[in-house]
Structure 1
Amino acid sequence: MAKNKTIQVEEDIPFHVLSVEQVAAHYSTNTLEGLTSQEATERLRTYGNNELQGNGGVKWYKVLWRQVANTLVAILLIATALSFATKDFAEGGVILVIIIMNAAIGFWQEFNAEKTMEALRNMSSPTAKVIRDEVRMIIPNNQAVPGDIMIFEDGDVIGADCRLFEIFNLETDEALLTGESLPVQKNLDLIETEDQPLGDRLNMVFSSTVVVKGRAKGIVTSTGMKTQIGQIATSLMGAGGNETTPLQKRLNRMAYFISLAAAILVLIVFAVHKFHYSNEVAIYAISVAIAMIPEGLVAVVTLTMAFGVNRMAEVKAIVRRLSSLESLGAVTNICSDKTGTLTQSKMVAVRMWIPSDGFYRVSGTGFDPDGEIYKQGETVAHGGSKVPEQLVVQGEESNHLLRVLQTASLCNMSELRKSTRPESNGEWTAIGDPTEIALQVLAYKAGLAKPDLLSQGFKLIAEFPFDSSVKRMSVLYQGPEKEGRSGEHFIFLKGATERVLGCCTHWRDGDHERSLMGEKEEMSREEFGAMITDKVDILAEKGLRVLTLAYRRFQPAPGVDLVHGLVRSEVEQDMVFLGLVGIYDPPRAESRPAVLQCYDAGIRVHMLTGDHPSTAAAIAKEVAIIPADVPVKDNSLIMTASQFDAMSDEQVDQLEELPRVVARCSPNTKVKMIAALHRRKLFAAMTGDGVNDSPSLKVADVGIAMGQSGSDVAKQAADIVLTDDNFATIVQAVAEGRRIFANIQKFIAHLMSTNVAEIVVLIVGLAFKDDDGMAVFPMSAVQILFLNMITSSPPAMGLGLEPASASNMCEPPRSPKQGLFSFEVVMDTFVYGLTMGALSFSAFCTVLFGFNNGNLGSSCNTEYTEACEGVFRARATAYASLTLLLLAHAINCRNIRSSSWSMKSLKTLQKNKMLWLSIVTGALVVIPCIYIPGVNHSVFKHTNISYEWGFVVIALVLFILLSELYKFIKRRTMKPLSVRANSELEMERMRSFTSQNTRVGSITETEHKS
């Protein structure tokens, strides 16, 4: 293969008229090895990302418009105009600068946040399976380049236009491009007509179409805007437009309420002045309106959401829908798959059972076929005394074992390869489903590798792929030719034991086939089923996933199309039972701690798996979903899907406890479980990876798709995509969702308390009239703006970035209906706001009336005179007091109940650099505002202070003491936040439940054997 060849970006080429060899040569690629990573990187620079242009994205002008098109800016502009109209250029200029600064800061934060969230959402777009560096890997679809070898499977969304070179029963849905409602069946035939209609280019697949059946490999011919979908400028797979989340809707409602309250306060200001209009009254009214509006709220929410999405990505959970960030904190139940989520998905066949020989052991780990098959301590596959290795492959006396291993090898779509690259040291790699890989490795250990069997003359004729509804897979092969005659046809079948046994009418006993049917039956079906069930139990109770193998000779009817004319139900009948294979998939080390953490957080975990009940129960015990000492039989915590599905909704609702383990689970079972949880007013997260999991992912409150093993259809239906398919990541995501919601409540409480405090000072200040009969401002408009935007907003942003509290995963899930303003948050807002307002106003009154004779002067709202000295000093004192109180309140808001001023709590403050830097900076900014000549008199309308700092300190100390007293009272009188039942109590509760003879729908001894 030519390497590092310069690829030129050419005009459209009709690749459907080129042979596979011509296409491979054109792109200097190899259908077996694929491109190297270096070549792929170079081509990505040449061709650009595999994505459509003009399909949305973040528009800077829209973000900027959102910063200026709001009620706050309108109010500030009115204040600016009034200031300039009254020739108060200093105040008007400051307000204008604040408008520009607020828009700039908000634009910068929101634009970067939107870019971050867009990039992270794009990570959850469909991925592509490609072969690079001789191994199969999963890459973001936008990284695919021409010349890549792309692999397609059932349920995949095709990521680029490709020329097919290997297919099996491939059908695609091309309705997006052609309008054809029926799936298109593909083939590899060369097409001679260049202008062939798109729907008739059967040796090509196109970007954004969906694989509805079969599997294939193809060479990428076009990406991005060069694809057919790109040429008609249409996109099927958007990640969603700008989404209005429940949080944003609540904030919008809050904005309407605040606007209404601000309007009422403005009316109050004018009413106090008997609706006599003047510039001063208008400025005061606008000041009150400004005080009512939390200017920094939008920017803080945006920053917090962006940071949360970024943090989720760091723990390998990609957020596709922002609403899921809020929903995660309310999750009460997690329904998880087993394989690859709770377990490592590193399957290895470790046991076999054959009726004629009994149990076999298999050594070796991973993909390396350097292992042996033992029977009673003797090596079988490598020249043991009973069955020498050469007889395993060729002889007749080992025919039974031969058929077992042939079935494992041929009823299998996985590929096992030994790397030829020098740097790989001959490492073995695999492509395919983990279960099939384990069977293929077993076949390799016996010398029956699939490539060897194919080279000996076995030819694949037809395939019926694994389907979750039937839980089995079958293939039709034609065997090697014998003495010039066509080879026999064989059907090989593998799948779940109960589904395979239902297809069997015979069983293999050494070289003999024994009947289970009719007059010739040598063992009744019931007796045989009981025998097999006992063997399955032995394997399953060790935590092994058990697959059953069967085969039969097949005599095709004359004239029948063996590729398209076969009916699955007719093919998979009259089978001969061969044996069992036990596959071990060890649990992930982090699964058990994660499950226990769920119980500590008041979240219950359910395992919904396709495995045998005993296998599922064994793994569930290992990862602590159920206690290790509870029985599997006669336990309604463990059910099969057939039992659960057979129950009516009323019967399910009568269960004291929904099952924690559902075995032999089907997609419909998952939907029924979610519905049962919803009827109990519970909030559920559901995991899924297959095409058929889409309904359950959609109906779940939080749908979680697997990023590695999941189909693109499942990812499209999900709210969150796990890039590592790990259950522990779900728990981390829940913890992050709780942290985000708690922090939003913290900074909203802080911002709203600030507004309440300012309103208290301004409204009560209406009672003070100067010599002209005008109300005296306890605080000027610029002071209020400075407090809201410069002093209060940065600490609020810091609160949005607060680490999770120690009790974050030791608190019960919040109610889904609980909004931001719970009773406690509202109470805190008013208690802290009124306290800060009262202390600040008290400082104002003490300075004005206690030390300046209460002289209110004239026109002290607009200019400084000696007569206004007392008012200006009092105003500076109130401003300094409220500044430090707001900063201290930011520390208060870090903990809703516990003390924020203990040494332990203060030490943790340094972990949040944004918060403590904003507090330090906010405190230091007070100095120049008060003491810079000109700025103090003309802009802030206050003057230098000296002894008044004593009143500021007194107000600060009193606020801290009162806050600690308030929290102490809350701890004594309110319901504790922590969960009463921890993981140990949850385990004990399940043991108690099991022992109470609550067995409605449980697995009985008879049902367990069925």
Structure 2
Amino acid sequence: MYGSQQGGGGSGRRSRRGKGGRGAAAGADRALPPAGAAALPDALAGGPGRPVHAAPVEALLAALAVTPGVGLTDEQARERLARFGPNALPEARKASLLALFLRQFRSPLIYLLLAAAALALSLGERSDAAVILAVVALNGAIGAVQEGRAERSLASLRQLSALTAHAARGGREVILEARQLVPGDVVVFSAGDAIVADARLLDAAALEVAEAALTGESVPVPKAPGALGPDTPLADRANMVWSGTHVTAGRGRALVVATGASTEVGKIAALTATGEEPETTLERRIAQLGRYVIAAGVVMCGVVVALGALRGLPLVEVSMIAVSQLVSLIPEGLPVAVTVALALGVRRMAARRAIVRRLSAVESLGSLNVICSDKTGTLTRNEMTVTVLYLPGGRRVEVEGTGYEPSGRLTEDGRAIDAGADADARELLLAGLLCNDAELVPPDDDEPRWRALGDPTEASLLAVAAKGGLDVRAERGRSPRQGEIPFDAAARLMATQHGRGGAPRVLIKGAPESVLELCASVRRGGRAEPLGDGEAREARRAWEDMADRALRVLAIALVEEATIEPQRGYAAFAGRAQLLGLVGQLDPPRPEARGAVLTAQEAGIRPVMVTGDHKATGLAVARALAIAREGDMAVDGRELDALGDEELAGKLERISVFARVNPEQKLRIVEAFQARGDIVAMTGDGVNDAPALARADVGVAMAVTGTEVAKGASKIVLTDDNFATLVDAVAEGRHVHRNLKRLILYLGSSSLAEVVALVTALVIGLPVPLVAVQILWVNLVTSGLVTVPLIMGPPEGDEMRLAPVPRGEPLLSSQVLRRMVFIVPAIAASTLGYFAHRLSLGVPLVQARTEAFTVLVVAQWFNVLNCRSDRGSGLSLDLAKSRWLIAGLLLGNALHAAVIFAPPLNDVFHTVPLPIQEVTAIGAVGSLVLWVEELRKALARRRERRAP
């Protein structure tokens, strides 16, 4: 019995709110030891050698000067927080700016640059070597700054998803950040909650805790209060819960005895650093690209040496040409730009109420083509309202009013009824408010509406009971809870035991099919009557009728003269339960949900509903939201089990609703879609959703209703639990992916154009048009000043009208390569053509190189306009929206003018001042790449318009 598990006062879930007054002694903290967490356990135990798990609960409560139902006062909490510090593990020392700077050199691309600098230095080209090293250092500085910003951004996001705990403070239950917990706090928790401090149990109900993270125990451990022997090993201390673990079943209440570094997990983690994010797919692709560049650089050097030998060029000149080739091949700005792209994507998604916990999710979002979404709270408002009651004998009672406000009439056949005078209605409403863990919170200064504290489904039962004239608090006081079986997701049932001046009785609430299996009779007029076939059919028709109207249906039953036996569970009530009636609840769809569903479908993403409701209810809501298409079907858990894998795969295309599914079945649904090659997102909020969330390509947890276990298994957390927010996040993911492709196009075409120009000059017998330091300057000016603004560009607005990004699409996709076929020759031809033309006119080599150098810079400035859009004209887009790009172009112009016209820089960069009249011609020639790409885009748009 539940009563045998009490240990310190209070019973039932209502103890979470606290029943006592606010009279904790103000000076009670005199009993605490001096500052220092290490002294705390001895004081709690009443002296050295008395561990916490062996001490009487009363001694612990006295040592910490706390009353269980009241908790600490705010003043006590502040004093203890100052004394013992925040409840947080020691953080790894943050990397210094110097360490971040040095970290930037761990790149194959940087290794190539350093090799080029060493080669230039060995050949006596000190100025070239100095410029190369300066560029490397500048890239390192930029990367360090951006990485520091990214870390600060992720740190702020981690604060948004920080763990919380329910604690009693001053007689009220409050939600605290885990960091605010102090020794002496009384915390409450239930299935799915994370344990955030070491605590001694005060009471528990069917409590089980997963402790694998601490003890290695592979299965959840049952917990119960009561003192244990002093020598009990940590793994066997059933009266303790530990920080870093989580509740898998039941609920409990406990006294915090250790926080922060003093917890068991804190002792282990005190000297360890926090783990790093795993390498993402994109980062692996970047590393792969770096290896390709190294291989291409080695081959290119061999080609240059061979061509130089054929032309009889001096070794020094050939070597410097090889250095130029290496430098031109390296997209130096790529590592920094990728870091910035991911950090910006994370920040923008946070602004759209989607917290990214794994950077890989940013990429995966752009490829999603299936979203398996929960219904309640995600597609609907999660504000349950009871609209109809079914009573034995075929009676239907309509309920007025919406939301949780306890006002509205109960009517039968248009006439108001008084539940106090109607025995059947009263028994049903009374059972609903007693077999219930929720509370209704009246309006206050912070919230003008009635709201639910607890499960919305249960809160709606309190609201309808109040509408029927029942006093919730008084009825709970007259029938105190004596035991319970917490809600079991597999059985879809909950049971509570109550005493009411006589023999105890058990109330059962849950899914109609589960409750009806236990019932052999109905209760009418205060008496049990056999549940005949006709009555059973009538109840089932009422249930199906409610479900067809998109109502969630609960059945409620009574077992007289019964007690809860945890070891037997619901089997003890089979054939003994009396059906009290059915309750139909409406959870209205979110206003924005249908539009979000249509947007997803237009984007090539198929929404699928996965719900715990009856399949008729789920299908009705799915049709209202356009999730279910004509001819689509709903499948419940039993039907799903009956389908083999091949049969399920064959029907998957027409199944829009999975109803009444258990956690294992959710996992199977994800794997079934993935077996077809789909990229799947799965939403969830419960502890049992964790396997499916972890297995999905993008697991999405709910911040408002989600358990900490679900959040821990997810890659994304929605701060508003809204399906529309997930669709917005997909749009942002596609935007990030598109910007990365633009970045690769820009850097790849620029680097390849330089290589083509240099090799072509070598092949046709021209002098080298660019030297190494000039190429470095081109890459610095273009990459450093415009690549970051390029990936900061706004979305074009058509992201959700495109198909999902194919799985495994390489960075150099076919689309990027097709565009490079036009861009690379245009840049190379304008640069080399102008160089050859000026040499043919007798212009000195140093001036011709300066002009070719400037043409290349201008061409790449025009090319960045090309790369801002896949199909839209680079001239028609509103440049005012890209202030950072404009700033980068203006600054680039100013810096390049300094390189050309400032005498101190002429020797470093091998340049001479140019005649002003040449500037216009250089600008016109450099713009060739823009007009070539504009022509290609115009032809592409024309083909699209003509396409059916």
Instruction: Tell me, yes or no, if structure 1 residue 96 matches structure 2 residue 96.
Output: no
Counterpart residue number, 1:466: 487
8 Å CA contact 1:768–1:776 kept in 2: the answer is no
Q: What is the alpha-carbon distance in structure 2 between the residues aligned to residue 69 and residue 642 of structure 1? A: 54
1:947 to 892, 904, 917: 917
Instruction: Tell me, yes or no, if structure 1 residue 223 matches structure 2 residue 259.
Output: yes
After TM superposition, the structure 1 = structure 2 runs for residues 654-669 of structure 1, keeping only pairs within 5 Å, are: 654-655=650-651, 657-669=653-665
Counterpart residue number, 1:505: 520
Distance 1:341 1:132, change over 3 A: farther
Counterpart residue number, 1:713: 709
- State the secondary structure of the residue aligned to 1:657: helix
Q: Deviations over 1:417-436 (max 9, x none)?
A: 559xx856998654321111
Give the % identical residues.
34
Q: What is the alpha-carbon distance in structure 2 between the residues aligned to residue 816 and residue 163 of structure 1? A: 49
Q: Deviations over 1:505-557 (max 9, x none)?
A: 111233342213xxxxxx32xx333312321233333332111111121356x
Give the CA deviation at 1:171.
2.5
Deviates more, 1:131-140 or 1:529-538: 131-140
Report the TM-score when normalising by structure 2: 0.88
Give the CA deviation at 1:81.
4.3
Q: What is the alpha-carbon distance in structure 2 between the residues aligned to residue 954 and residue 224 of structure 1? A: 66
Q: What is the alpha-carbon distance in structure 2 between the residues aligned to residue 235 and residue 593 of structure 1? A: 50
Counterpart residue number, 2:7: none
After TM superposition, the structure 1 = structure 2 runs for residues 426-445 of structure 1, keeping only pairs within 5 Å, are: 430-445=452-467
Distance 1:570 1:890, change over 3 A: same
Instruction: Tell me, yes or no, if structure 1 residue 250 matches structure 2 residue 285.
Output: yes
Distance 1:147 1:318, change over 3 A: farther
- State the secondary structure of the residue aligned to 2:655: coil
2:543 to 536, 547, 552: 536
Counterpart residue number, 2:885: 915
Q: Deviations over 1:928-975 (max 9, x none)?
A: 110001312343444433332132122134332211111123334579
Distance 1:507 1:697, change over 3 A: same
Q: What is the alpha-carbon distance in structure 2 between the residues aligned to residue 425 and residue 842 of structure 1? A: 72
8 Å CA contact 1:125–1:239 kept in 2: the answer is no
Two-structure CA RMSD over aligned residues (Å): 3.3
Give the CA deviation at 1:922.
1.4
1:301 to 338, 341, 344: 338
Give the CA deviation at 1:372.
4.4
Counterpart residue number, 1:900: 874
After TM superposition, the structure 1 = structure 2 runs for residues 542-621 of structure 1, keeping only pairs within 5 Å, are: 542-555=549-562, 564-621=566-623
8 Å CA contact 2:90–2:270 kept in 1: the answer is no
8 Å CA contact 2:559–2:573 kept in 1: the answer is no
Deviates more, 1:293-302 or 1:664-673: 664-673
- State the secondary structure of the residue aligned to 2:654: coil
Distance 1:919 1:132, change over 3 A: farther
Q: What is the alpha-carbon distance in structure 2 between the residues aligned to residue 316 and residue 136 of structure 1? A: 27
8 Å CA contact 1:156–1:211 kept in 2: the answer is yes
- State the secondary structure of the residue aligned to 2:768: coil
Counterpart residue number, 1:514: 529
Distance 1:894 1:145, change over 3 A: farther
8 Å CA contact 2:558–2:577 kept in 1: the answer is yes
Instruction: Tell me, yes or no, if structure 1 residue 406 matches structure 2 residue 433.
Output: no
2:41 to 3, 10, 13: 13
Q: What is the alpha-carbon distance in structure 2 between the residues aligned to residue 265 and residue 19 of structure 1? A: 78
Give the CA deviation at 1:42.
7.6
Q: Deviations over 1:726-749 (max 9, x none)?
A: 111110111111111111000111
8 Å CA contact 2:858–2:927 kept in 1: the answer is no
State the one-letter code of the partner of 1:468. Answer: A
Q: What is the alpha-carbon distance in structure 1 between the residues aligned to residue 688 and residue 500 of structure 2? A: 37
Q: Deviations over 1:662-705 (max 9, x none)?
A: 22233233233223322332221111122222222233221112
Give the CA deviation at 1:207.
0.5
- State the secondary structure of the residue aligned to 2:387: strand
Give the CA deviation at 1:976.
9.9
After TM superposition, the structure 1 = structure 2 runs for residues 993-1004 of structure 1, keeping only pairs within 5 Å, are: none
Q: What is the alpha-carbon distance in structure 2 between the residues aligned to residue 577 and residue 370 of structure 1? A: 27
8 Å CA contact 2:489–2:662 kept in 1: the answer is yes
Counterpart residue number, 1:727: 723
Counterpart residue number, 2:676: 680
State the one-letter code of the partner of 1:272. Answer: L
Q: Deviations over 1:867-918 (max 9, x none)?
A: xxx112111211211111111111111111221212xx1x2x2223222211
Q: Deviations over 1:757-806 (max 9, x none)?
A: 1112221222576xxxxx73311211111111222233111121122222
Q: What is the alpha-carbon distance in structure 2 between the residues aligned to residue 921 and residue 134 of structure 1? A: 62
Between Structure 1 and Structure 2, how many residues are aligned? 909
Give the CA deviation at 1:158.
0.8
Q: What is the alpha-carbon distance in structure 2 between the residues aligned to residue 113 and residue 959 of structure 1? A: 34
Q: What is the alpha-carbon distance in structure 2 between the residues aligned to residue 605 and residue 36 of structure 1? A: 48
Instruction: Tell me, yes or no, if structure 1 residue 937 matches structure 2 residue 907.
Output: yes
8 Å CA contact 1:160–1:224 kept in 2: the answer is yes
Counterpart residue number, 1:209: 245
8 Å CA contact 1:72–1:290 kept in 2: the answer is no
Give the CA deviation at 1:278.
3.6
- State the secondary structure of the residue aligned to 1:507: strand
State the one-letter code of the partner of 1:531. Answer: E
Report the TM-score when normalising by structure 1: 0.83
Counterpart residue number, 2:5: none
Distance 1:617 1:70, change over 3 A: closer
Counterpart residue number, 1:315: 352
State the one-letter code of the partner of 2:834. Answer: A
- State the secondary structure of the residue aligned to 2:389: strand
Q: What is the alpha-carbon distance in structure 2 between the residues aligned to residue 668 and residue 975 of structure 1? A: 48
Give the CA deviation at 1:600.
1.5
1:241 to 251, 272, 276: 276
Instruction: Tell me, yes or no, if structure 1 residue 480 matches structure 2 residue 516.
Output: no
Q: What is the alpha-carbon distance in structure 1 between the residues aligned to residue 70 and residue 147 of structure 2? A: 44
Give the CA deviation at 1:825.
0.4
Counterpart residue number, 2:144: 107
Deviates more, 1:821-830 or 1:50-59: 50-59
Q: What is the alpha-carbon distance in structure 2 between the residues aligned to residue 268 and residue 119 of structure 1? A: 50
Instruction: Tell me, yes or no, if structure 1 residue 653 matches structure 2 residue 649.
Output: yes
Q: Deviations over 1:616-661 (max 9, x none)?
A: 223223322236xx6xxxx542333322332222222333833112
State the one-letter code of the partner of 2:617. Answer: T
- State the secondary structure of the residue aligned to 2:733: helix
Q: What is the alpha-carbon distance in structure 1 between the residues aligned to residue 883 and residue 829 of structure 2? A: 30
Give the CA deviation at 1:367.
4.0
After TM superposition, the structure 1 = structure 2 runs for residues 7-46 of structure 1, keeping only pairs within 5 Å, are: 9-10=35-36, 11-14=39-42, 15=44, 16=52, 31=68
Q: What is the alpha-carbon distance in structure 1 between the residues aligned to residue 91 and residue 447 of structure 2? A: 46
- State the secondary structure of the residue aligned to 2:916: coil
Deviates more, 1:564-573 or 1:282-291: 564-573
Distance 1:682 1:86, change over 3 A: closer
Q: What is the alpha-carbon distance in structure 1 between the residues aligned to residue 858 and residue 25 of structure 2? A: 68
Q: What is the alpha-carbon distance in structure 2 between the residues aligned to residue 555 and residue 961 of structure 1? A: 86
Q: What is the alpha-carbon distance in structure 1 between the residues aligned to residue 59 and residue 467 of structure 2? A: 38
State the one-letter code of the partner of 1:605. Answer: P
- State the secondary structure of the residue aligned to 1:12: helix
Distance 1:555 1:471, change over 3 A: closer
Give the CA deviation at 1:579.
0.5
Distance 1:140 1:266, change over 3 A: farther
Distance 1:892 1:49, change over 3 A: farther
Counterpart residue number, 2:13: none
